[in-house]
Amino acid sequence: MTDTATGTLVLAGTPIGDISDAPPRLAAELAEADIIAAEDTRRLRHLTQSLDVQPRGRVVSYFEGNETARTPDLVEALEGGARVLLVTDAGMPSVSDPGYRLVAAAVERDIRVTAVPGPSAVLTALALSGLPVDRFCFEGFLPRKQGERLARLREAAGERRTLVYFEAPHRLDASLAAMAEVFGRERRAAVCRELTKTYEEVKRGGLGALAAWAAEGVRGEITVVVEGAPEPEPVEDPAELARRVRVREEAGERRKEAIAAVAAEAGLPKRQVFDAVVAAKRPEAR
């Protein structure tokens, strides 16, 4: 299956739970690839055994820790005509998984890149959430540290599209609590756990209620879907804008972050909110 000129990089989706969800082409690609770059070679072995496939090509590990170092070798193989198959532990490569560096390097060298479409936790959770799916954005994993997590969420406070996040089970309660603090306790969300597996569960509700539920402990692979921000209510009164900033500052936000959040909520330029804050501090405004 080796190409005569430059080779081909194939990104292959793998099941996110139920092995029977494997796309039909996956078995053929696993059997015929010259090189299989796998996030976890042990999981790859389980996958090939489950699909009753015996790979003929060389298997190499390709994960976050060696992605940068291994990419040049794989590109060299591709330039030599090899068909390289990239698989991750679950879902599509590059989506919060290894793959982006290799794809970018291949594209830069005009090497053909194609895909075997497969299951996606992002799209599956979005479809099951019951929240709007016409416009959405994927935010990946939130930062581990609370301050950085809150800052990231504040950046998305005014986002009107549905938001999709990945999260580790041991950090889920902290992340949901942070979302409730920034987005509001009543903002609708869905926690999708163990998708397509035996103990699949979709928990829907307000962020405050979901945070309380998660505090008891949650296991499994987690995808969180959050409703986008509501349409802003028109705010023309500078005093009201300044008051909203002051409330956020008193809650611990830095002024710059508070101004950005209020501007996003009100659908106004940050400069307009900043001017309102400055005006409120003038003696004549008191």
Q: Which domains does the chain have, with CATH numbers?
A: 8-119 (3.40.1010.10), 122-226 (3.30.950.10), 238-285 (no CATH)
Q: What is the CA radius of gyration of the chain?
A: 23
Structure tokens at 20: 């029977």
Q: Are strands 35-38 and 162-167 parallel, antiparallel or unpaired?
A: unpaired
pLDDT, position 269: 86
Report the Cα 100 to chain-centroid distance in Å.
14
> Across all residues in the chain, what is the average pLDDT?
92
Work out the average pLDDT over 37-58: 96
Are 213 and 162 in contact by the 8 Å Cβ rule? The answer is: no
CA 117/CA 111 separation, integer angstroms: 19
In the block, tokens 């739970």 appear at 17
Closest CA to 148 of 100, 173, 182: 182
- Most confidently modeled range among 169-183, 234-248, 266-280: 169-183
223-267 pLDDT, tens digit each? 999 999 988 766 668 898 999 899 988 888 889 988 988 887 787
CB count, 10 Å around CB of 276?
25
DSSP 8-class letter at 184: -
